[in-house]
Amino acid sequence: VHRYLYVRLVRDVDWSPRAKKLGTLLLVTLALLIPVALLTRDLPRSISTPMAFACFSWMGSIMYFVFAAGAVHVYERLKNRFAAEDQAPPVDPSRRKVMTQAAGAAAVVVSGAAVRGGLAEVDVKEVQVALPRLPKELEGLTIVQMSDIHVGPTIGKRFIDTIVNRSNELKPDVVVITGDLVDGSVPELREHTARLG
C-alpha cells in the first residue's frame, strides 16, 4: 500500500526534487511507524500512547489516501482507454499534479474529520425493540450496550470514566459489553478498566 501511494502521489507526479525527497521520507516514516508502534505498545503509556495515536490515525487515513489516489488512477486509465489510439493524449504532468493535490487534500480533510469524530463525545442511540414473546414482568427493561471500546494505548481510564458516567445517567436495568473491550494485557489495563466491574 505504501509503495502504491509512493508511485501515485510522489514518484509519478511532477514535484520538485526537494518535494519528492520529502514525500518519500514521509511515506517511509509512516510505513515504519506501524511496526514500531506495535512493538512499543507494552512500554509505559507516556511512550506508547503518542506512538499508537499516530500509528492508528495513519492506519485509518491510509484508506482515504488509497481511494483518492485510486480515483485519479482510474480516471486516467478510463480517459486513455476511451480515447482513439492516435488521439490518446500524453500524460500531462502538471494536470496530474493538480489532480493529485486535490485528491490528497480531500483525503486529509476526510481523515481529519474521522479523527475528530473518533475523539468526540460518545453518542447515545436509543433503540426500542418490540419482543412479542417477552414476559410481561420484563416489559420496559432497559439495556445499555457498549461495543468496540478498545481500551489500550490510546483509550484509558478517563474515557472509561466518561462512558460509565454516561451509562449510569441512563439508569439501565442491564449493561452489556460486546465486541472488543481491550487491546493489551490484563496487568497493564487493570486500572483503566476497573470501573467496568
Give the tens place of pLDDT for each residue, 160-173. 999 999 999 999 99
Of 78-87, 123-132, 169-178, give the lowest mean pLDDT range.
78-87
Q: Assign 177 to helix, strand or coil.
A: strand
Q: Assign 154 to helix, strand or coil.
A: coil
Q: Does the pLDDT at position 30 exceed 90?
A: yes
With cut-offs at 50, 70 and 90, classify the pLDDT of residue 5: very high
Bridge partners for 151 per DSSP = 182
More confident residue, 136 or 115: 136
Q: Are 151 and 184 in contact (CB under 8 A)?
A: yes
Q: Which helix (H) or strand (E) segment is 181 a member of? A: none
CA distance 172 to 180: 21
Is pTM, for the whole model, over 0.75? Answer: no
Q: For the chain, what is the mean pLDDT? A: 87
What would the DSSP string read from start to end of 3-68? HHHHIIIIITS---HHHHHHHHHHHHHHHHHHHHHHHTTTS-HHHHHHHHHHHHHHHHHHHHHHHH
Whole-number pLDDT of residue 2? 94
CA distance 160 to 141: 24
Q: Where are the alpha helices (DSSP H) in 40-156?
A: 45-82, 93-119
Whole-number pLDDT of residue 115? 81
Give the tens place of pLDDT for each residue, 129-161. 999 999 999 999 999 999 988 888 888 899 999
Q: Does the pLDDT at position 72 exceed 60?
A: yes
With cut-offs at 50, 70 and 90, classify the pLDDT of residue 88: low
Whole-number pLDDT of residue 90? 61
Q: Are 43 and 34 in contact (CB under 8 A)?
A: no
Of 45-59, 137-151, 179-193, give the lowest mean pLDDT range.
179-193
Instruction: Provide mean pLDDT across the span 17-30.
Output: 95
Whole-number pLDDT of residue 33? 93
Instruction: Provide mean pLDDT across the span 88-115.
Output: 79
CA distance 50 to 43: 11
Question: Cell triple for residue 4?
Answer: 502504491
Burial of 157 (0-12, 13-18, 19+ CB in 10 A): middle
